[in-house]
A and B are shown apart, each in its own frame.
Chain A
Amino acid sequence: MRILVIEDDADTARFIAKGLVEAGHTVDQADEGRHGLFLATTEKYDAIVLDRMLPNVEGLTILRTLRASGIATPVLVLSALGEVEDRVAGLRAGSDDYLVKPFSMTELIARLEALTRRASGSGGVPETVLRVQDLELDRLQRTARRGSRQIDLQPKEFQLLEFLMRHAGQVVTRTMLLEGVWDYHFDPQTNVIDVHVSRLRAKIDKGETEPLLHTVRGAGYRLGPPARD
């Protein structure tokens, strides 16, 4: 992916760039709003990371201008302001996702990848059947199958699997799951999500030769073929 990072704090910018490059993406940097806007309108990016607190011009103003110019590139807003009202402001200005500082690199990458996947896939009609390896999920029938084995899922488990399959191959953080499956922005102090995922894993992977639902330590989960180290 080609990613534009508009961030004025040198340390943060370097850190983000390094992480993204290591994940295999190319990164352009701008440390000031107008330059960032210029780059965004003149170059083609798969995603933009935009800091809200920029010198001279507020990040959201840049965003609004960008959208007004017809640039539909997915934008992930970074901000130290984390309350819901701030997120809503970001969303209204045209952002696609919102991440609060300090954040983990893995989460940033996971969300960026989710954004681009969403962007690229939203051109057509969403598929009714999702497939990962021999795991199949029928959204219309609300059924799931692995190979020839029917998997019996409760409604929330179905939604959870659906979300994971839509983000197959990507790292999905717990926060993303809470937002995407339960539709709440919420910080659990305990591992309440993990229990749901373990149950799902038991239903999907039990007795199978190839586990599909993996825990990524320090980040979240990933649905897909086992990673080759």
Chain B
Amino acid sequence: MVRRLATSPFFRFALGLPLGIAVLLGLALVPVYQEALRGVERELRIAIDAEILRLEQQYRDRGIVGLRIAIRERMANPLDTDSVYLLANARGVRIEGNVTGWPEVEPVDGAWVRFRDERSQELIQGKVFRVGTFERLFVGRRSPLEQFRQEFFRRLAVAGAGVTLLSLALATWFTMRLRRRLDSVRATTERIRAGDLTERIPVGRTRDELDQLAGTLNAMLAQIESLMTSARHVSSAIAHDMRHPLTHLRNQLDDLARRPGLDPAIREELEVALEELDRTLSAFSALLRLARIEAGSYGPKHEPVLLDQLTSDAIDLYRATAEERGLTIEAKLAPVTVGGDRDLLFQAIGNLLDNAVKYGAGRVAVALESRGDAARLTIRDEGPGLGAAEQDRVFDRFYRSDPSRSTPGSGLGLTLAKAIIELHDGTIALENAEPGLRVVITLPRPSHEAVAR
């Protein structure tokens, strides 16, 4: 989760922005800091130089004694605690002053030195100048800069850590919130993709960019839903409208074919044409029935159906075709009763068996069992099976696995089966049986199943 967070552009932005600002501010402050430092240093040197001049004057006026008095007077000044004086002899031993010994530095005249007080570890800087033949005087200040710098960096570090942690926390929280909103959008679109076209993305009340996006997406979804419904209606409308003229056409051909004294070759051709027409009409009927079932305007009977008996009958019907194709159908059927429409369920299971036999090889295994409050029927073939992409589409109207459409059938068999099963509040799913395909159907059993079987 943490890794995923780091890849999120929102997180990177939410974190980068405050850190970036902090860095920029820091950079902007650097010259200010340096300028301040330089200013303080300048002041220091000026003050020390002035002091040295004054002390020099003392020495000239009153000699070493006068110098010593002057130094003592200055050291006694309670207001000035930072000044450092050291008058030392040639060997570096203190004559007068408020530090212990001459620092480990060369007593070059006029040199500006820095050293650390052994006792207090404070940084002292100041100037050296020679007095008389052997003595040397050091005048300096305990550096405020050192403390300043230390304090400054300490506070900077604390602030930096604080900003980083706060940014991390805010970025995480912000990203999570955003993600939650996006996830809700994604979940809705997934449900839509799975088939529920009536779903809409939830829109908040803030009318921000995400809400506007959701609004636009919802409008698009409404459009898609209406297109799909009308597309379904179009195919049903076409089937409905075309049935009557086609039937008249069929009847006319039928008449023609049965005319006495007709050339047998012509009759032959007419009969072939009639068969074609019948297939088309049959497909139209299936399509219309499908439309009615899907629209829910179909009120199926709700009677107890002995599903094992029904399945056995269906297998019986398709066994001959299976054997023609060199397949065997094996059945393991447990007695189960469901509620529904006998003819419709026979149609559904028949269509599924038809498919298994059409595309299977070797063995078709049918199993029916009772699982809790539902019946579970599986039909498994050992044919080439279906890829994941095909599995999604195989229930579409007119979808044919065979692109040349040369196998018999209209492509409506599975669509009809699915519609019928869903009408019975059941489910249908496809699984890779490796080899082959397994179709799994569940149908609810009536809760008041009083029949002891």
CB within 8 A of A102: which of B246, B321, B358? B246
CB within 8 A of B274: which of A84, A102, A195, A217? A217
Does chain A have a CB within 8 A of B316? yes
Does chain A have a CB within 8 A of B50? no
State the CA gap A101–B246 with chains docked (Å): 12
Smallest beta-carbon distance B77→chain A, Å: 115
Residue of B nearest to A190 (CB): B408
User: A189 contacts which chain B residues (CB < 8 A)?
Assistant: 282-283, 286, 351, 354, 408-410, 412-413
Interface size class of B (residues with CB under 8 A): 35 or more
CB within 8 A of B343: which of A84, A103, A188? A84
User: A199 contacts which chain B residues (CB < 8 A)?
Assistant: 320
CB within 8 A of A85: which of B244, B250, B258, B299? B299
Known contacts A186-B346, A218-B257; is A102 also within 8 Å of B278 by CB? no
Does chain B have a CB within 8 A of A44? no
Would you list which residues of chain B between 352 and 373 have a CB under 8 Å from chain A? 354, 358
Q: Are B254 and A106 in contact (CB under 8 A)?
A: yes
Q: Are B247 and A103 in contact (CB under 8 A)?
A: yes
Known contacts A189-B408, A189-B412; is A217 also within 8 Å of B275 by CB? yes
- Please count the residue pairs between chain A and chain B whose beta carbons lie under 8 angstroms apart in the complex: 106
Q: Are B254 and A184 in contact (CB under 8 A)?
A: no
State the CA gap A186–B318 with chains docked (Å): 13
Would you list which residues of chain B between 306 and 344 have a CB under 8 Å from chain A? 313, 316-318, 320-321, 324, 341-344
Q: Are B324 and A195 in contact (CB under 8 A)?
A: yes
User: A104 contacts which chain B residues (CB < 8 A)?
Assistant: 247, 250-251, 254, 278
Q: Are A218 and B254 in contact (CB under 8 A)?
A: yes
Q: Are B282 and A217 in contact (CB under 8 A)?
A: no
Would you list which residues of chain B between 229 and 252 have a CB under 8 Å from chain A? 243-244, 246-248, 250-251
Residue from the set A83, A105, A106, A217 with the largest chain B CB neighbour count within 10 Å: A83
CB within 8 A of A192: which of B313, B318, B341? B318
Smallest beta-carbon distance B305→chain A, Å: 11
State the CA gap A147–B51 with chains docked (Å): 149
State the CA gap A33–B407 with chains docked (Å): 46
State the CA gap A183–B306 with chains docked (Å): 14
State the CA gap A102–B320 with chains docked (Å): 30
Residue of A nearest to B261 (CB): A229
Does chain A have a CB within 8 A of B43? no
CB within 8 A of B248: which of A11, A82, A188, A218? A11
Residue from the set A15, A184, A229 with the largest chain B CB neighbour count within 10 Å: A184
User: B409 contacts which chain A residues (CB < 8 A)?
Assistant: 189-190
Q: Are A102 and B301 in contact (CB under 8 A)?
A: no
Would you list which residues of chain A between 102 and 126 have a CB under 8 Å from chain B? 102-106
State the CA gap A32–B210 with chains docked (Å): 65
Q: Are B243 and A102 in contact (CB under 8 A)?
A: yes
CB within 8 A of A187: which of B272, B275, B285? B285
CB within 8 A of B341: which of A19, A84, A106, A187? A84
Residue of A nearest to B408 (CB): A190
Q: Are A102 and B282 in contact (CB under 8 A)?
A: no
Does chain A have a CB within 8 A of B255? yes
Q: Are A184 and B343 in contact (CB under 8 A)?
A: yes
Known contacts A187-B347, A189-B283, A195-B320; is A105 also within 8 Å of B275 by CB? no
User: B278 contacts which chain A residues (CB < 8 A)?
Assistant: 104, 218
State the CA gap A87–B81 with chains docked (Å): 116
User: B299 contacts which chain A residues (CB < 8 A)?
Assistant: 85
Known contacts A187-B286, A187-B347, A189-B410; is A105 also within 8 Å of B255 by CB? yes
Does chain B have a CB within 8 A of A185? yes
State the CA gap A97–B181 with chains docked (Å): 61
Smallest beta-carbon distance B202→chain A, Å: 39
Smallest beta-carbon distance A84→chain B, Å: 5
Q: Are B251 and A15 in contact (CB under 8 A)?
A: yes
State the CA gap A104–B254 with chains docked (Å): 8
Known contacts A189-B409, A192-B318, A195-B324; is A218 also within 8 Å of B271 by CB? yes
Does chain B have a CB within 8 A of A25? no
Q: Are B292 and A83 in contact (CB under 8 A)?
A: yes
Residue from the set A84, A100, A192 with the largest chain B CB neighbour count within 10 Å: A192
Smallest beta-carbon distance B59→chain A, Å: 125
Q: Are B342 and A184 in contact (CB under 8 A)?
A: yes
User: A83 contacts which chain B residues (CB < 8 A)?
Assistant: 289, 292, 298
Binding site for B on A (CB under 8 A): 11, 15, 18-19, 22, 82-85, 88, 100-106, 156, 182-192, 195-196, 199, 217-218, 229
Binding site for A on B (CB under 8 A): 243-244, 246-248, 250-251, 254-255, 257-258, 264, 268, 271-272, 274-275, 278, 281-283, 285-286, 289, 292, 298-301, 313, 316-318, 320-321, 324, 341-344, 346-347, 350-351, 354, 358, 408-410, 412-413
A selection of 13 A-B contacts at a CB cut-off of 8 Å is A15-B251, A19-B254, A82-B289, A88-B301, A102-B244, A104-B251, A106-B254, A183-B313, A187-B282, A189-B409, A190-B358, A192-B317, A217-B272
The 4 closest A-B pairs by CB, nearest first: A102-B247, A217-B271, A218-B274, A195-B320
